[in-house]
Structure 1
Amino acid sequence: MNTIGIIPNTTRDTDFKVTKHLIEVLEAQQFEVKLEDFVAEKIGREGLVGDDIYKVPDMIITIGGDGTILRAAGKATFHDVPILGINLGRLGFLAEVESPDIEKLITRERLQNATIEERIMLHIIACDGMGNKSNFWCLNEVSLIRAFSSRITDFEITINDKLYDVYPADGILVATPTGSTAYNLSAGGPIVAPYSKDIILTPICPHTIYSRSIILTERDTIGIKMIGEEQLNLCIDGEAQMNFTKRHSVQVKKSSKVVKLVQLGELDFLQVLKTKIVGRRK
């Protein structure tokens, strides 16, 4: 491992102070550092154009929060490059390193001996009823949420092409184990160990007392349609991707692709959970 790409969140590292510090730490250890062209221009360096930031390096280091990792994950996965996150956010489950610990943890020995943990992704196929299909991939979750109306929506759920239930709810989401501590957790869904391969179906604010999350296996395929005239947004990892109406349907299943996250071995999942969630209650 000799070449590392850095992808900062420019809304968090606004003056590139952390980015510059990380570059100094890496170059002092004879790593070659690569930046996206628009970032490099801001700090007087040469950069890479387009997807080259994912093609050239042996590893990507993001600077920001979990959202920065989520935005990088799709392209990093397609180019089979692992990601290490430096957290500048408030609650980071994916980011392995806190910014004050850069010099301590970002060392050649630690990076070369790091564990690469594979996290499953979901493959989402959205159909518009006229034969047109759109493909998406997510690391955390796919969600269907209200766009304009405040009405309850009825969601018809199938599992492996068999009708499971109709959920009256504000929305519906399907999460990976990695995403179980994100929107799924806020919606009352269960926390699942991120290295498992289960799929979580969670209604958002269901209008019944019996509608609860269900944990499915990696072999299961979930189908979702809506009943009614409402207009929804189909969101991938929190980003709206397309409008969704009763003409549409969506199929969700485990993807064959995985996201590779660099683990430096400082904390395991249960320690992170205790620190990030339980510790916040004190």
Structure 2
Amino acid sequence: MTPSFHHVALIGKYHHAETGTVAPGSREVLEHIAAFLVGQGCRVSMEMQTADNGGFSGHAALTPQEIGEQCDLGLVVGGDGTMLSIGRKLARFSTPLIGINQGRLGFVTDIPLEELKTTLTPMLHGEFEEDRRQLMHGQVLRNGECVFDALAMNDVVVNRGATSGMVELRVEVDGHFVANQRADGLIVASPTGSTAYALSAGGPMLHPSIPGWVLVPIAPHTLSNRPIVLSDSAEIAIELVNGRDASASFDMQSLAALHKGDRILVRRSEYCVRFLHPRGWNYFDTLRRKLRWNEGGS
């Protein structure tokens, strides 16, 4: 049977964050997946960094831009961090992504490695559910000029310095003053990111179909400063009023050092990330499995 996807890019994570060494077994896993894809009638290419780090030479090595221009599917092997990184780069090409979970939790890399063949075979032939996730567009403005610009899938976070006290932040929504907050920081999270840092800071989980964001203070000085859910059509502005060594991070992967008076603007991006899931996939099944709800029950 001819596959629905003819040119598939393999994207993998090779390095341990702690040691910078090649992850044991990663090369063998990707070689096994590549052989499986070829057996399904797909042409396979490797993402450039994946190929370089793993020493692959049997398949073409492509940059993320080349993947977006040439491939009709990206297969991401790793954890959610790997998916966040490539998802932002491929969103403007509308390249669909399937996640194979080789990490620890995996809300968006949701296919277990041991179920690869049985799950992926029907997906390659058109049996899947599509799930679109809106990106966030963040900017840091200094004296009216943009000094940092990035996309985020999970969240934009303003954090205090590692050795300093709380930061004071002025928060506006659509140009309307909301509050001055003294806290360790502030999280603006998408529905995708509502199960990440925002959840650990006490924020609610948002279903991915909700066109909203959640604004979550981190350890606020005033306990009445609570998380709030906003429309994702709103523009959020966060001004650093006071605080040393503060920073703004985008998906915890891009970092901008902040100066007093800097404004962080967060808007809805024009781009979406396209995830493909197995037929019958349900968000609540993912939550129940990943958060271990009802363990010990029937």
**Residue of structure 1 in register with 2:19 after alignment:** none
Residue 267 (structure 2) pairs with residue 248 (structure 1) = no
Residue 61 (structure 2) pairs with residue 31 (structure 1) = no
Residues 271 and 103 of structure 1: CA distance in aligned 2, closer, same or farther (over 3 Å): same
Does the CA-based 8 Å contact 1:119-1:178 persist in structure 2?
A: yes
- Could you say what secondary structure the match of 1:25 adopts? helix
Range with greater deviation from structure 2 (170-179 or 40-49): 40-49
Structure 1, unaligned stretches of length 5 or more? none
Does the CA-based 8 Å contact 1:138-1:236 persist in structure 2?
A: yes
Does the CA-based 8 Å contact 1:233-1:240 persist in structure 2?
A: no
Range with greater deviation from structure 2 (108-117 or 123-132): 108-117
Query: What is the alpha-carbon distance in structure 1 between the residues aligned to residue 154 and residue 125 of structure 2?
Result: 25
For residues 216-274 of structure 1, the C-alpha deviation after alignment (integer angstroms, 9 at most, x for no partner) is 01221111012214121111101242101213101112112111111113531111111
For residues 192-224 of structure 1, the C-alpha deviation after alignment (integer angstroms, 9 at most, x for no partner) is 001221011111111111011110012211110
After the TM superposition, which residues 84-123 of structure 1 pair with which residues of structure 2 at under 5 Å, given as runs?
Answer: 84-108=98-122, 110-123=124-137
Deviation at 1:89, TM superposition (A): 1.0
- Could you say what secondary structure the match of 1:5 adopts? strand
- Pick from 182, 187, 190 the counterpart of residue 204 of structure 2: 190
Residues 208 and 280 of structure 1: CA distance in aligned 2, closer, same or farther (over 3 Å): farther
Deviation at 1:150, TM superposition (A): 2.9
Deviation at 1:43, TM superposition (A): 3.0
For residues 28-56 of structure 1, the C-alpha deviation after alignment (integer angstroms, 9 at most, x for no partner) is 11111111345446133142243313321
After the TM superposition, which residues 225-264 of structure 1 pair with which residues of structure 2 at under 5 Å, given as runs?
Answer: 225-264=239-278
- Pick from 7, 17, 37 the counterpart of residue 28 of structure 2: 17
Does the CA-based 8 Å contact 2:134-2:273 persist in structure 1?
A: yes
Q: Which stretches of structure 1, 4 residues or more, deviate above 4 A after TM superposition? A: 108-111
Please report the TM-score for the alignment, with normalisation by the length of structure 2.
0.89
Deviation at 1:115, TM superposition (A): 2.2
Query: What is the alpha-carbon distance in structure 2 between the residues aligned to residue 240 and residue 40 of structure 1?
Result: 23
- Pick from 6, 9, 22 the counterpart of residue 10 of structure 2: 6
- Could you say what secondary structure the match of 1:71 adopts? helix
**Residue of structure 2 in register with 1:45 after alignment:** 58
Query: What is the alpha-carbon distance in structure 1 between the residues aligned to residue 273 and residue 61 of structure 2?
Result: 22
The Cα RMSD (Å) is 1.9
Residues 11 and 280 of structure 1: CA distance in aligned 2, closer, same or farther (over 3 Å): farther
- Could you say what secondary structure the match of 2:184 adopts? strand
After the TM superposition, which residues 67-146 of structure 1 pair with which residues of structure 2 at under 5 Å, given as runs?
Answer: 67-108=81-122, 110-129=124-143, 131-146=145-160
Residues 35 and 134 of structure 1: CA distance in aligned 2, closer, same or farther (over 3 Å): same
Query: What is the alpha-carbon distance in structure 2 between the residues aligned to residue 280 and residue 228 of structure 1?
Result: 44
- Could you say what secondary structure the match of 2:34 adopts? helix
The alignment covers a number of residue pairs equal to: 282
Query: What is the alpha-carbon distance in structure 2 between the residues aligned to residue 154 and residue 37 of structure 1?
Result: 42
Deviation at 1:64, TM superposition (A): 0.5
Residues 178 and 193 of structure 1: CA distance in aligned 2, closer, same or farther (over 3 Å): same
- Could you say what secondary structure the match of 2:169 adopts? strand
Range with greater deviation from structure 2 (44-53 or 67-76): 44-53
Residues 8 and 228 of structure 1: CA distance in aligned 2, closer, same or farther (over 3 Å): same
% identity of equivalent residues: 25
Does the CA-based 8 Å contact 2:241-2:261 persist in structure 1?
A: no
Query: What is the alpha-carbon distance in structure 1 between the residues aligned to residue 70 and residue 155 of structure 2?
Result: 28
Query: What is the alpha-carbon distance in structure 2 between the residues aligned to residue 198 and residue 39 of structure 1?
Result: 34
**Residue of structure 1 in register with 2:181 after alignment:** 167
Deviation at 1:96, TM superposition (A): 2.4
Residues 174 and 91 of structure 1: CA distance in aligned 2, closer, same or farther (over 3 Å): same
Query: What is the alpha-carbon distance in structure 2 between the residues aligned to residue 200 and residue 130 of structure 1?
Result: 26
Query: What is the alpha-carbon distance in structure 2 between the residues aligned to residue 224 and residue 150 of structure 1?
Result: 19
Please report the TM-score for the alignment, with normalisation by the length of structure 1.
0.94
Structure 2, unaligned stretches of length 5 or more? 17-22
